[in-house]
Amino acid sequence: MVKKYLIWPIRLFLYLIAIFILSFYSFCLFISTDYGSKAITKYLFEDNIQFEEISIEPSLLGMQVNIKNFQYIGAADFSGEEINLEINFLNSVIGNKIFVSDFSLNNAEVTLNEQRDTNQTDQPEVFIDQLSIIDLKVGNTIFQKINLI
């Protein structure tokens, strides 16, 4: 008797889970295309970031992003040869912040812009689990290699 009344709620729950999984992977498929990755970066960063090449690949829990020859203009100008990061969507949704499980940066430079207007938008909170930086120049200081685990 109880089995008869539990079948439809379980089916409904499984259908909703299937729809969520299909929509998640279709979104990942969209952002893995060249048009999708450029549309997402334009939406997130507007005209503040320029890059030569970007590749976004979906992974089991999120996505892997590789950007080559990039320049970000904001409160500080940030440019570099290569940036690789892996974003974990599950932890990002649970923690209500962007969770980056792996971040590596090669041959980068940071310069501070003191004459920027103060109309900056609020940046999301970011948590980085592992950080690897190679050849970073901040002002007059050069860091050969930084690994934070």
CB-based contacts of 87-91 (< 8 A; 24+ apart in sequence): 87/62, 87/63, 88/61, 88/62, 89/24, 89/61, 89/62, 89/63, 90/61, 90/62, 91/61, 91/127
Q: What is the pLDDT at residue 6?
A: 80
126-128 vs 98-112, strand pairing mode: parallel
**Tokens representing 149?**
């685990």
Distance CA 144, CA 5 (A): 65
Q: pLDDT > 70: what percent of the chain? A: 90
* Cβ neighbours, 10 Å, residue 109: 16
Residue 100 has pLDDT above 70, yes or no: yes
Q: What is the pLDDT at residue 68?
A: 92
pLDDT band of 130, cuts 50, 70, 90 = confident
